[in-house]
Structure 1
């Protein structure tokens, strides 16, 4: 169960922190996030829950996750869409294997297990996000300006309290419509894991359960790199309109309730993944083409794959892969014609989704 969305904006503000209950957290993790035309048509923010949104599905790595560091590997230029670290644990906190990779960074969810919520058995909750930037891709301006100097494994770092915008429910606890934003202060840490290469840990806001600066330091101390391994997905894209490039690949979008098996995002070719002060919000970026592989949905008001598979004027196409899985092409930009969206869908080629050994390496 995950309950945090990527950093929407780093900004200073005087707004008081919002109190988020554990009941809201648990409800958020049970919701299925939508990035569909019908959610937009209804005027509902896709996937808005009572807490900051995060991913609930993890792309298993090609190796067992380690419970601790497996030894540092010198940072060298890696393929743009390769994973360069593995999951590891420190006490009840676990950094998962990376969920997504972009030309500028990789991200993984951090969870805390054995959390006593006071009602039922202990649960696991999302505690934050680890972002590992390619050498030279991150500009730690906020941390250098406002952070306190720290040393992580003999290298420069900064510990700071950053202002994070979070989405919360409406006036009523059960409301998911007309959400409001609040600015809350959370601990964060940035450090150089190699010369010119930075990583950050940002806590999610869980009131008194927010991950402490001390835990972040412990997680940073245990972080190591590994030999790069190409991200793999069960879909290959053979056709794309001019002017687009692959922006991210992986298992999910760090959005709560997302059950995707794999997700590719294509962004305008001019999108810059260098000189970053934080991750790009590719989920909120309307100028994107998303290609998702997910389990077939036979229940609920919006079953998928949809019939007809490419409804006119709705900027998406569904493609049935087999009895268990389907793919969706979603033109979030709203700029492609029905024929262009269908052409992308017709050009998809699939591996055996249930057999990860057959998946395609992502080459960009």
Structure 2
């Protein structure tokens, strides 16, 4: 049994849907797997073995508010405004998109992806949006439509955009949001009204100024050839993470989530070691470290044999963490690997 990227997406959505109900947060993941600076920071003391005997490091974090005040303004940095979306960044809002409420947001060099809810709060995802960079996606044909004067297509497609994230056979709308760049919307709507509802949502989708994704952690050392390949965040039960890739494939996930660990995949939270003096659990290619106000998970779902527990532990041992309660102190994702 392995913790896969699909499980990670289920985990994030489950956390969103059941925020405030901790005993249910990982139920969907268990069921799925069962079937098959302010740069002042804290560094976990370096260690090489699975069981790390190290001096405890005090982590005096406070809990991140459930409704953050907002991202820092440009004036807080010395960098000029970005003119294009960075590979590890967003132009989609992390609050509302097209009048819908963001649950989770992902991005890599080719596209952004958002799961959206019709109502505020931790709800089930009703709508999925893919926003592709110019040249990254060629749409399928369907019933011709227009969105803001630009061409598009409406139809019923299994897994739109070739990304097996949505629900097969649900209504979807594809439109050209910029020259050479296409967007895809998919929703759990009744077919009788889906076309008009999707067109209305698409007409309200707008882009923000490009910004870097921000993460509450930075690496000190990574195995050779691993490079950042994508970012992910969840809004209502906060989590932020980074995908690491090798040879064009995602091979490792690093996720920081609000609060203490609950259940992990099919297993209860049962610490069986320590890392840097903090309770930790090593389980089948997945390690979790309880850092107080938040917890860290590192997994290598596609190649657990290539990145055994000792390797994942060494990675965690060299990481530096920002103040979880102050997202303005977090690191730009592009700087997460030094």
Shorter-chain TM-score category?
0.5 to 0.7
TM-score by length of 2: 0.65
Task: Specify whether residues 148 and 350 from structure 1 end up closer, same or farther in structure 2 by C-alpha distance, changes over 3 A only.
Answer: same
CA distance in 2 between counterparts of 1:125 and 1:35 reads 12
1:242 to 181, 201, 224: 224
CA contact under 8 A between 1:149 and 1:159: conserved in structure 2?
Answer: yes
Q: Which structure shows the bigger proportion of residues in helix conformation?
A: 2
TM-score by length of 1: 0.61
Aligned length: 266
Cα root mean square deviation, aligned: 4.1
Partner of 1:338: 309
Which secondary structure state, in structure 1, belongs to the residue aligned with residue 245 of structure 2?
strand
Partner of 1:84: 91
- Note if 1:358 corresponds to 2:326: no
- Note if 1:158 corresponds to 2:169: no
Which secondary structure state, in structure 2, belongs to the residue aligned with residue 241 of structure 1?
coil
- Note if 1:289 corresponds to 2:219: no
Partner of 1:303: 269
Task: Specify whether residues 247 and 129 from structure 1 end up closer, same or farther in structure 2 by C-alpha distance, changes over 3 A only.
Answer: same
- Note if 1:325 corresponds to 2:288: no
- For residues 16-60 of structure 1, the C-alpha deviation after alignment (integer angstroms, 9 at most, x for no partner) is xxxxxxxxxx89996423799xx59x96159xxxxxxxxxx9998
Task: Specify whether residues 189 and 61 from structure 1 end up closer, same or farther in structure 2 by C-alpha distance, changes over 3 A only.
Answer: farther
- Note if 1:44 corresponds to 2:34: yes
Which secondary structure state, in structure 2, belongs to the residue aligned with residue 224 of structure 1?
coil
Partner of 1:62: 71
Shift of 1:302: 1.8
1:202 to 186, 190, 197: 186
Bigger mean CA offset, 76-85 vs 208-217: 208-217
Which secondary structure state, in structure 1, belongs to the residue aligned with residue 152 of structure 2?
strand
CA contact under 8 A between 1:318 and 1:345: conserved in structure 2?
Answer: no
CA distance in 1 between counterparts of 2:174 and 2:218 reads 35
Which secondary structure state, in structure 2, belongs to the residue aligned with residue 288 of structure 1?
strand
Which secondary structure state, in structure 1, belongs to the residue aligned with residue 176 of structure 2?
strand
Task: Specify whether residues 63 and 260 from structure 1 end up closer, same or farther in structure 2 by C-alpha distance, changes over 3 A only.
Answer: closer
Task: Specify whether residues 112 and 313 from structure 1 end up closer, same or farther in structure 2 by C-alpha distance, changes over 3 A only.
Answer: closer
CA contact under 8 A between 2:243 and 2:253: conserved in structure 1?
Answer: yes
Task: Specify whether residues 29 and 218 from structure 1 end up closer, same or farther in structure 2 by C-alpha distance, changes over 3 A only.
Answer: farther
Shift of 1:337: 2.9
CA distance in 1 between counterparts of 2:123 and 2:71 reads 24
Task: Specify whether residues 243 and 308 from structure 1 end up closer, same or farther in structure 2 by C-alpha distance, changes over 3 A only.
Answer: same
- For residues 211-242 of structure 1, the C-alpha deviation after alignment (integer angstroms, 9 at most, x for no partner) is 71211101111112221011111111232212
CA distance in 2 between counterparts of 1:27 and 1:224 reads 28
Q: What are the within-5 Å matches in structure 2 for residues 183-202 of structure 1? A: 184-202=168-186
Q: What are the within-5 Å matches in structure 2 for residues 242-281 of structure 1? A: 242-252=224-234, 259=237, 261-271=239-249
Q: What are the within-5 Å matches in structure 2 for residues 1-150 of structure 1? A: 31-33=24-26, 44-45=34-35, 62=71, 77-86=84-93, 87-88=95-96, 94-96=100-102, 99-113=105-119, 125-140=124-139, 143-144=140-141, 147-150=142-145
CA contact under 8 A between 1:132 and 1:199: conserved in structure 2?
Answer: yes
Unaligned runs of 5+ in 1: 9-25, 47-56, 65-74, 115-122, 166-182, 272-286
* Bigger relative contact order, structure 1 or 2 (CA pairs below 8 A, ≥6 apart): 2
CA contact under 8 A between 1:186 and 1:210: conserved in structure 2?
Answer: no
